[in-house]
Structure 1
């Protein structure tokens, strides 16, 4: 059985699909998101008609973003996500990652500068290398060559950190593209958070 969005509720995407009642596994994903953020992402709601996609995206997200073995800092992870999302002009992701980065840094002005053009924001050598790599993965992954990884090593990143950075950038390119392709609306809560 499916339920439509309540009358008058803003659309979460351009799709006109009924919103099915989530399975227990999907509901657990939504509950985990709500516990972490205080709301469910519109991108998750837009995918509810394909529960296997909600579950797969959540599993991949946790594998690349919440890996306890990774030594990339939360700030570095969100920097990568924001650079990728800004380049892709993915509204829900830009607002969400800018919010997360404001929460981590407490510096809304710095985050806005990263969002508009990270090259003009004061970044450490390591952060700049990660941002440049994320942009290369987003713009022209086929043009990446060994020298690109050497720049990361020269900035102090280890081999596993480079792998983590690549996985994070690749994941957010996927997320950005599906959100943009179906017109997922940004969450107002993300815009308002940590200001």
Structure 2
């Protein structure tokens, strides 16, 4: 008996014919992950949005001049996604951190409560900052940057951390607002 595929979001909008640019984006995702993110598929009805989100993601996360490591970037993404309770993003960023660290237990501890995960002082400063950006961006003051500087982060790194946290707040909110279902592949990856 064939199982009925569940919808990938609460929306039932039909995607237009995919442009070469959108198809190339989906092909890159599939090559990188082995599957296409449900969040991307859910946005296909608005190609400019899926392309814009990808461009913003690359600008925030793939700056070659950044002093942040891939692990630190994914830590920021996971802290933001966990705070926002964005299931597709939690599954995806936890999988990426498992791949980077090879430590599924540590990643699980970060998901449950990063404060108890044995973060380095630099990682803790980044996680605290990401949480502050997520919970109360309007309350951030100059003094909130001091723990980051004390942990060895330069101002360019702080800008990168802010951009990454802000981007994932956007991504989390759009996924949650339209009910994007997490990819089972992400949940199972690198365990």
Give the alignment partner of residue 40 of structure 1, picking from 36, 41, 46.
36
Unpaired runs of 5+ in structure 1? 1-6
Give the 3-state SS of the residue equivalent to 2:118 in structure 1. Answer: coil
Q: Matched residues in 2 for 1:159 and 1:180: separation?
A: 31
> Is residue 151 from structure 1 mapped to residue 140 from structure 2 by the alignment?
no
Give the 3-state SS of the residue equivalent to 1:157 in structure 2. Answer: coil
Counterparts in 2 of 1:45-124, with a 5 A limit?
A: 45-124=41-120
Give how far 1:18 is off.
1.5
Question: Number of paired residues?
Answer: 189
Structure with more contact order per residue of length (Cα contacts < 8 Å, sep ≥ 6): 2
Moved more, 94-103 or 19-28: 19-28
Give how far 1:69 is off.
1.1
Give the 3-state SS of the residue equivalent to 1:190 in structure 2. Answer: helix
Q: Matched residues in 2 for 1:20 and 1:90: separation?
A: 27
The equivalent of 2:15 in structure 1 is 19
Q: Matched residues in 2 for 1:191 and 1:164: separation?
A: 27
Q: Matched residues in 2 for 1:154 and 1:20: separation?
A: 50
Moved more, 24-33 or 126-135: 24-33
Unpaired runs of 5+ in structure 2? none
TM-score of the two chains, using structure 1 as the length reference: 0.95
Give how far 1:188 is off.
0.3
Q: Matched residues in 2 for 1:103 and 1:192: separation?
A: 11
Give how far 1:151 is off.
1.1
Give how far 1:22 is off.
1.3
Q: Deviations over 1:27-52 (max 9, x none)?
A: 11111111110100000000000000
Moved more, 131-140 or 66-75: 66-75
TM-score of the two chains, using structure 2 as the length reference: 0.97
